[in-house]
Chain A
Amino acid sequence: MIDYVLYAVLCIGLITLKTAVFPHITFLENCYDLLIPFILYLAFSRPVVEGIVVTLVIAFFMDSLTGAPFGIFISVYFWFFLGTKWGMRYFHSGTTVLLPFVIGAGVLLENLALVFISAVNETEPVFPPGAAGLIVWQVLWATVTGPIIFLFLKFIHSGLNSRIEEAYANRDGEVL
């Protein structure tokens, strides 16, 4: 239960950061989606069912907040989650070496899907001006800072769990 409370707090925090704080900071205005490292964390460190449930709920929130057609974030996040889970079997990537590349790939996948959807709705499909530059900037930025967010999430979660275990152990000790 406490895990889900933590996910809710992190999810609200990351979305608020992206939609209410970053627009006030010029160089972070077009920052990549901060939930990609979060999804990656779920894929790397959490059980499949728990990961899928949390991923779909987060995607539902994002679909509701954006102007994109409903369902695009559900598709992108879900396939990114499954793709990462599947890839872990072959790359044995419990280590952090592959993190920048996987986060970069996730951001790239998301951007391509969104640009494609925004262009394909038009009578005369035209890609947004500066799309390539923005995608490259986001992918590079994600490969550099994404792993930091991932490690931060891991640190928070493991720290919280160990504190809870400690509290339970102390309570059991007092009862005995």
Chain B
Amino acid sequence: MFSRRIVYAVGGFFFIAFCIILIIVSSRQPSPMEKAERVPISIIAPFQHIVTGTIRFAEDIWFHYFYLVSAAKENDHLKKALNQSVERHNRYIETELTNERLRSFLEFKKKTTSKVVAAEVVGRDPSPWFKTIIIDKGTTDNIKQGLPVVVAKGVAGQVMSVSSGYSKVLLITDRNSAVDALVQRSRARGIIKGFSSDRCFFQYVLRKNDVKVGDTVVTSGLDGVYPKGLRIGRVSGVVRRNSGMFQKVEVTPYVDFEKLEEVMVVLASVEKEQAEE
């Protein structure tokens, strides 16, 4: 009835339309393809896990046994201690600022009442233009879509999709990521948007607000995803144009995303769980 050429042309047209609709629909968050994505993650991630584990094991042998045995161990220990000190110091600053503003938090509880699950990074995004990682914890460890992911130095990202044993995490340096944030010193508010592997932009900060190079940017807690007061990065550049409502602020994240090996997924806080129950 129809020639082969017409069938190919119509088929091609419908496929183009299908691809465009698919891309537009899946650009929205949460992605409607989230459930379908679980299957490939469940298949590929165990292989990534085995390979990453083998590489880390080989690296460990090389660095800890054959190459500067004691120095490497001491270095690891000092790095851990330094990370803990930095985090503790940051918590002190946050507490001090909170007290200065005379907030009467009679039932103030530490942010650390949240439960966390430690996870290992087993794979990275196959494309250099997008910043996601695969971690070795999934629904069996109570991980859910949208949970925040942190490390000792600061915020890492947010769980994007979950399979039974593995999850995909969107890093804050990805262009699709957005985190509601504050400048720790002046409390100027804005949105942290990812830009490149070592840079983010602090958008929608009013021009009148006081932001200086070197300021620390922390999560505001207003986005309902990240707990309040977690460190994000340091302001590395400020441009105030003569016109416009906002200033352009560049932020360098505290987390080194190229060397990310272990992360912590913050499960719902104890209070939130009790409220839900």
Contact = CB atoms under 8 A, between A and B. Distances in A.
A68 B129 contact: yes
A76 B87 CA distance: 44
A20 B123 contact: yes
Closest 6 CB pairs of A and B: A71-B22, A70-B26, A67-B130, A67-B132, A64-B40, A64-B37
Nearest to B177: A67
A72 B47 contact: no
Given A65-B44, A69-B26, A19 B126 contact: yes
Nearest to B16: A75
Interface residues of B, number: 46
A64 B43 CA distance: 11
A152 interface: no
Contact of B130 (A66, A78, A134): A66
B127 interface: yes
A60 interface: yes
B23 A23 contact: no
B139 interface: no
Contacts of B174: 67
Nearest to A82: B12
B41 A64 contact: yes
Interface of B: 15, 19, 22-24, 26-27, 31, 33, 36-41, 43-44, 47-48, 51-52, 55, 59, 122-132, 134, 160-161, 168, 170, 174-176, 195-196, 199, 258
B126 A33 contact: yes
Interface string A49-71: 00000000000111111111111
B131 A67 contact: yes
Given A16-B51, A72-B23, A117-B23, A65 B134 contact: yes
Contacts of A130: 196
Contacts of A47: none
Interface stretch (A93-101, A121-129, A164-172): A121-129
A118 B126 contact: no
A109 interface: no
Given A16-B51, A72-B23, A128-B196, A118 B130 contact: yes
A20 B199 CA distance: 23
B175 A121 contact: yes
B132 A66 contact: yes
A78 B199 CA distance: 33
